[in-house]
């Protein structure tokens, strides 16, 4: 069971509690660690954790440095198999002074949208010739080009990003295109502190994940936690907490018959899903 964690904003207590029962953890950006990230997580949880940057991870240069002990766990522009699922990552957000995309820009527009803006080109025009902290948390044309090259070589089950695709009112169409080009079934993102579910054109299921930290009283930390569990036959159970029902709710992605599963806890939900799936697979098909 993979735990996806929305914006911690320096408060890791809720995710650390939830991560105990997870086989893997993916931090979706805006960690803002006040100390070394591996030290905050502890050896057991750090060993099963992956991450991407969010826009606020460069607010303080120390935040960038505090990720360095886990640099090999950065999912940005790569594909890694985690707990039975192939997951691609795209960290950072779009910034108006770089790339110049709008919410309707497509992948085919990229050659015409400031392709000269690269991290190194911006560094060269600075006095110290170095990358600035925000360069690490910005989506550049080269990142999108690399994701497009990945799409030509492989397919993924899940794409994670900090920035949102077009399913969200402030999202970007180009990210939905990246998900479709990768043939992803699920797109999990953070950034907007809002838990929601949606479907993109092409059948990509989107899970917007809220803020997991408890910095604001009216926000529920469990809105910032989302789970995926891989089952036999390529089936994936998506799970989240429903504050209205005060229950965990799940659905098998792409299985219309298995929606709105509920249970009081995650283990019970997984067991319920496994039983339903087993029953369905054993049921003789009609001719």
Residue position matching structure tokens 């496994």: 274
Q: Which among 91, 87, 112, 106 is positioned nearest to 182, based on CA atoms?
A: 87
Could you tell me if residue 17 is inside a domain?
yes
| Confidence band for 138, pLDDT divided at 50, 70 and 90 | very high
Within-domain flag for 135: yes
Q: What is the DSSP letter of 286?
A: P
Q: What is the mean pLDDT of residues 10-30?
A: 96
Distance (Å, whole) CA 11 – CA 27: 12
Domain residues for 87?
2-282
Q: Is residue 287 part of a domain?
A: no
CATH of the domain at 157: 3.60.21.10
Domain presence at residue 208: yes
Position 203 in a domain = yes
Is residue 18, in this structure, part of any structural domain at all? yes
Residue 218 is predicted with a pLDDT of 61
Q: Is the pTM of this model over 0.85?
A: yes
Which positions ≥6 away from 96 have C-beta within 8 Å?
none
Number of domains in the chain: 1
What is the predicted pLDDT for the residue at 206?
96
Q: Are 162 and 93 in contact (CB under 8 A)?
A: yes
Mean pLDDT over each residue of the chain, to the nearest integer: 89
- Identify whether 65 is part of a domain: yes
- Res. 287: pLDDT tops 70: no
Give the whole-angstrom CA distance, residue 116 versus residue 140: 10
From edge to edge, which strands make up the β-sheet containing 158-161? 79-82, 85-90, 158-161, 186-189, 204-208, 196-200
What are the pLDDT digits (tens) for 147-183?
989 998 988 999 999 999 999 999 999 999 999 999 9
Give the pLDDT of residue 87. 97
Residue bearing tokens 């990768």: 182
pLDDT, residue 147, reads 93
- What pLDDT is stored for residue 284 in this prediction? 52
């Amino acid at each position: 069971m993979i735990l996806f964690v929305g914006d911690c904003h320096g408060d890791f207590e809720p995710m650390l509690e939830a991560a105990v029962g997870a086989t893997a953890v993916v931090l979706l950006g805006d960690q803002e660690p006040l100390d070394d990230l591996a030290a905050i997580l502890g050896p057991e949880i750090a060993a099963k954790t992956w991450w991407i940057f969010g826009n606020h991870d460069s607010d303080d240069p120390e935040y960038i440095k505090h990720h360095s002990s886990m640099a090999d766990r950065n999912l940005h522009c790569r594909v890694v198999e985690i707990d039975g699922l192939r997951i691609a990552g795209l960290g950072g957000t779009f910034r108006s002074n770089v790339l110049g995309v709008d919410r309707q820009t497509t992948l085919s527009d990229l050659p015409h949208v400031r392709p000269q803006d690269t991290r190194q080109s911006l560094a060269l025009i600075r006095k110290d010739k170095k990358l600035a902290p925000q360069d690490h948390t910005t989506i550049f044309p080269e990142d999108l080009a690399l994701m497009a090259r990945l799409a030509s070589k492989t397919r993924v089950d899940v794409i994670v990003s900090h920035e949102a695709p077009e399913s969200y009112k402030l999202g970007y169409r180009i990210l939905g295109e990246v998900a479709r080009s990768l043939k992803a079934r699920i797109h999990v993102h953070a950034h907007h502190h809002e838990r929601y579910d949606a479907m993109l054109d092409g059948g990509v299921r989107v899970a917007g994940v809220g803020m997991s930290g408890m910095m604001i009283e009216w926000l529920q930390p469990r809105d910032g936690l989302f789970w995926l569990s891989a089952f036999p036959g390529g089936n994936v159970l998506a799970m989240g907490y429903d504050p209205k029902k005060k229950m965990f709710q799940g659905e098998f992605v792409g299985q219309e018959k298995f929606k709105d599963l509920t249970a009081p806890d995650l283990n019970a939900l997984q067991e319920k899903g496994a039983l339903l799936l087993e029953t369905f697979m054993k049921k003789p098909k009609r001719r």
